[in-house]
Amino acid sequence: MIGRMRSQTEEASKFIVDWMEHRTGIVTQLEHFLYEPVPKRGAWVYTLGSAVLGLIVVQFLTGILLLFYYVPSTDHAWNSVNYIMNEAYFGQLVRGIHYWSANFLLAMIGLHMAQVFFAGGYKAPRELNWVVGVVLLLLVIGLAFTGYLLRWDQDGFWASVVGMKIGSYSPFVGGYVINFLLGGDVAGPATLSRFFALHVWLLPAAIAPFIGIHLYLLRRHGVFGSEFEYSERLAKLHERQRLEEYAGYELDDDDEDEAERNGRSNGRGE
Amino acid sequence: MAELQKDPITRGDFLGFGILGAISGAILTIPPVAFVLSPVIKTNVLGQTDIDQGWQRVATIKDLKELKPGTPDVFEVEFPIEQVYSDKEIQEKFPDSQKSQSDFTVRHAVWISWKAPVKQQGTQGSGGDILGEPEKPAIVDQKSSGFTQSERDEIRGQLNILSNSCAHLGCPVRWFPDKHEFLCPCHGGLYDINGGYVGGPPPRGMYNYTQAEVREDGTLYIKHGYDIEPGLNKQQPYVV
Amino acid sequence: MVYVPAAGKSKPVEEEVITEENVYDRPDETMGFFPGQVLKDTYVFTFLIIACAVLSYAAPAPLTAPADTATVEYVPRPEWFFFFYEQMLMFFPGYALVSFGAVVVPTIFIVLLFAVPWLDRSPQHYSAISRPFATVIGILVVVIVVLNMLMAVSRIMNFPTA
């Protein structure tokens, strides 16, 4: 009885897998994705990048959740955040995760960048992935800046005022920059709407494809950590080179020396 | 996978791509850019402002009487602003609707003090102007209303009307009575009682409200507008 | 690129001749992305999400008083990751320098950041020790950022209260 059920389930699952594979090719894709060989040494170092990815996903999820209650208007933005914090079930947790994972995200990005820089991970053929990474960094900084104002509390408001005023010092375009950010010439409803649009729609929409490119390029060229992953192979290479060098000396002991000397003197003569 | 099929592109195809691309491209780029940049166009190109340009009351004669020389006092002024919510139009079109019964305002903190005479103009790196003792016009204490034009001008001339926005990065500045200076809490910009630059990173002194008047009853009114050098206008950081 | 199925073949032929060209083709030891790497990633992620959850009750996300444009009491402070930048602004006073320090220098820095792969092109020098110039510059940047952060913190802590 159990044996028959087992075989039936097996057949059914095999059928589903085959069916999906035939229609979408997803099974092969998954195999490629899951079973790619990656360096065994330094695996903990490479969790930095995945941590960044995970935290960004958390940002997306909790951000969408917060939008269920948040009201982007100067009259009610603060009130709605207050409601999330005090009234909504687990509101404190959802907003807390959004807030704290943003902080961890910035820290993790810093560590991730430092690791890639000091390991030389930006070298050919991975230059473009570094460039995409810098774009992602700028987008995340933009998100961090625009998100701060949305609470419409003293902290967020004044930090944004300072930030916008910094923008106003841009050479040649300062006046345009600040009026663009303000949505006019005073910090008011238009400013909040703008920051909301940037934080919730424009920047996340921009960041998503760049994350995709970053991951695609990573998979295309593989992670490159540091020379310590290759220490055995490098040792073998150096050993072989050394042996070849010795072999060279031993083989052409006299003749080569003679030829070399002649060559040199010829060279000098010319 | 089928072999790739690379058909040649004829001149007609090329033209078609060009024209269609231009049409869709124009529709999808020009209006959206103008849409997003409309505040920039309105304020920087057309010179419009969101802030109501009418007179706003700052302080009564009683406040001015109580204003001690050498001690600036802060007053709150509400400037009605017209931005996004279009309260005015709604109130005109649908006066009975519950929407937007009140104007949206932006509140400014205004530092008011009696001017201290500048004895010696400060030079670069000298640590600001050398100031005398601030003076309060005697007329303020003598009368409570019915000020004449010359008296009103005298009072106006003796008043510092300063924005609380630091000229460096717009943080709210505060008065330190023991030091007799305004201090910006963000980066330590220092100003004297007249708002003149004393030290720290700010590029200039505090912003003055240039349009101000004292009326017959001694009430001080101001309009929104600062002493921003017109030459530097495009690069001049605006007061937020 | 040819796809090599990972199962059981992560270690190809032992007799491979290692040359300058192929030395970096494959690390000494490999493992399948799943489960080895995925498990480690999950450990880190779980730690972070637990930390977030605990912190959101232990140190709830701040919400200060509603924005007030007319305050003279409030002291604006940036978030911690902008501390170093904010501190840097103090070193650039006056019209010419404010715009220089606030916008021009950071822009140059970002452009240089973009250009890093083309500034340091020394081939086959991956290890931090074998390219001291890049490493020293990197360490300098980190030190400057950390020092500026500490200075900002000390400035904020020592701010005089009226």
Helices assigned H by DSSP within chain A = 2-24, 26-34, 47-66, 77-86, 91-119, 127-149, 154-167, 174-182, 189-196, 203-221, 231-251, 255-269
Closest CA to C63 of A74, A90, A162, A78: A78
To the question of domain A42-221 being in CATH 1.20.810.10, the answer is yes
Residues of C in contact with B164 (CB under 8 A): 70-72
* Three-point CA angle C128, C131, C136, nearest 5°: 75
Residues of B in contact with C93 (CB under 8 A): 200-203
Q: Reply yes or no on whether the pLDDT at A156 is more than 80.
A: yes
Name which residue leads in pLDDT, A182 or A232: A182
**pLDDT one-digit tens code per residue, A221-243:** 877 666 677 777 778 888 888 88
**So what's the pLDDT on residue B233?**
47
**pLDDT one-digit tens code per residue, A195-210:** 999 999 999 999 999 9
Which residue from A166, A189, A193 is facing B169, i.e. has the nearest CB? A166
d(CA A129, CA A181): 30
- Nearest chain C Cα to B200, which residue? C93
Percent of chain C with pLDDT strictly greater than 90: 32
Q: Quick one: average pLDDT of C2-13?
A: 50
**pLDDT one-digit tens code per residue, C134-148:** 889 999 999 999 999
Given strand B105-114, what is the order of strands in its sheet?
Answer: B73-80, B105-114, B159-163
SS3 category, A225: coil
CB pairs under 8 A between B and C: 62
Give the range among A98-107, A159-168, B127-136 with minimum mean pLDDT.
B127-136
Q: Reply yes or no on whether the pLDDT at C7 is more than 60.
A: no
Read off the pLDDT band of A188 (50, 70, 90): confident
Instruction: Report ipTM for this prediction.
Output: 0.87
φ/ψ bin of B180: left (φ > 0), alpha (ψ from -120 to 50), beta (otherwise): left
Q: Quick one: average pLDDT of B219-228?
A: 87
- Mutate which: A155, A179, A196, vs B, most B CBs within 10 A: A179
**pLDDT one-digit tens code per residue, C57-109:** 999 999 999 998 888 888 888 888 888 888 888 888 776 678 888 888 899 99
A89 touches chain C (CB under 8 A): no
**So what's the pLDDT on residue A209?**
97
Q: Reply yes or no on whether the pLDDT at C124 is more than 90.
A: no
Give the range among A40-54, B33-47, C13-27 with minimum mean pLDDT.
C13-27
**Beta-carbon neighbour count of residue B6 at 10 Å?**
6
How far away is chain A from the Cα of B222, in angstroms, using its nearest Cα? 17
Start-to-end CA span in chain C (Å): 68
3-state helix, strand, coil in chain B (%, to 5): 25, 25, 50
**pLDDT one-digit tens code per residue, B80-95:** 888 877 777 787 888 7
Residues of B in contact with A162 (CB under 8 A): 169-171, 186
Taking a C-beta distance cutoff of 8 angstroms, is the pair B114, B135 a contact?
A: yes
Taking a C-beta distance cutoff of 8 angstroms, is the pair C63, A85 a contact?
A: yes
Across the interface, whether the CB atoms of C94 and B186 are under 8 A apart is answered: no
How far away is chain A from the Cα of C95, in angstroms, using its nearest Cα? 9
Across the interface, whether the CB atoms of C69 and B185 are under 8 A apart is answered: no
Taking a C-beta distance cutoff of 8 angstroms, is the pair C113, A127 a contact?
A: no
Collect all residues from C whose CB is shorter than 8 A from any CB in B: 68-76, 86, 89-90, 92-95, 98-99, 159-160, 162
Across the interface, whether the CB atoms of C72 and B204 are under 8 A apart is answered: no
Instruction: Kindly report the average pLDDT of chain A as a whole number.
Output: 87
Q: Reply yes or no on whether the pLDDT at A186 is more than 60.
A: yes
Cα A220 to Cα A32, A128, B17, C35, distances in angstroms: 12, 12, 33, 20
Residues 120-139 of A with CB under 8 A from C: 120-124, 126-127, 130-131, 134, 137-138
d(CA C51, CA C16): 46
Q: Quick one: average pLDDT of B188-196?
A: 89
Across the interface, whether the CB atoms of A114 and C138 are under 8 A apart is answered: yes
- Nearest chain B Cα to A176, which residue? B40
Taking a C-beta distance cutoff of 8 angstroms, is the pair B201, B168 a contact?
A: yes
Across the interface, whether the CB atoms of C71 and A154 are under 8 A apart is answered: yes
Taking a C-beta distance cutoff of 8 angstroms, is the pair C29, A70 a contact?
A: no
How far away is chain A from the Cα of B151, in angstroms, using its nearest Cα? 34
Q: Quick one: average pLDDT of B95-102?
A: 68
**So what's the pLDDT on residue A259?**
53
**So what's the pLDDT on residue A269?**
39
Which residue has tokens 């982007």? Answer: A72
HSE-CB of B148 using CA atoms within 13 angstroms:
4
Q: Quick one: average pLDDT of B100-111?
A: 79
B39 touches chain A (CB under 8 A): yes
**So what's the pLDDT on residue B235?**
46
Give me the sign of the Cα torsion angle C61, C64, C66, C67.
negative
Query: What would the two tokens of residue A8 be?
Result: 């039936």
What is the fold, at CATH topology level, of the domain defined by B56-232?
A: Rieske Iron-sulfur Protein (2.102.10)
Taking a C-beta distance cutoff of 8 angstroms, is the pair C86, A165 a contact?
A: no
Partner chains of B (3+ C-beta pairs under 8 Å)? A, C
Across the interface, whether the CB atoms of C70 and B108 are under 8 A apart is answered: yes
Which residue has tokens 């489960």? Answer: C35
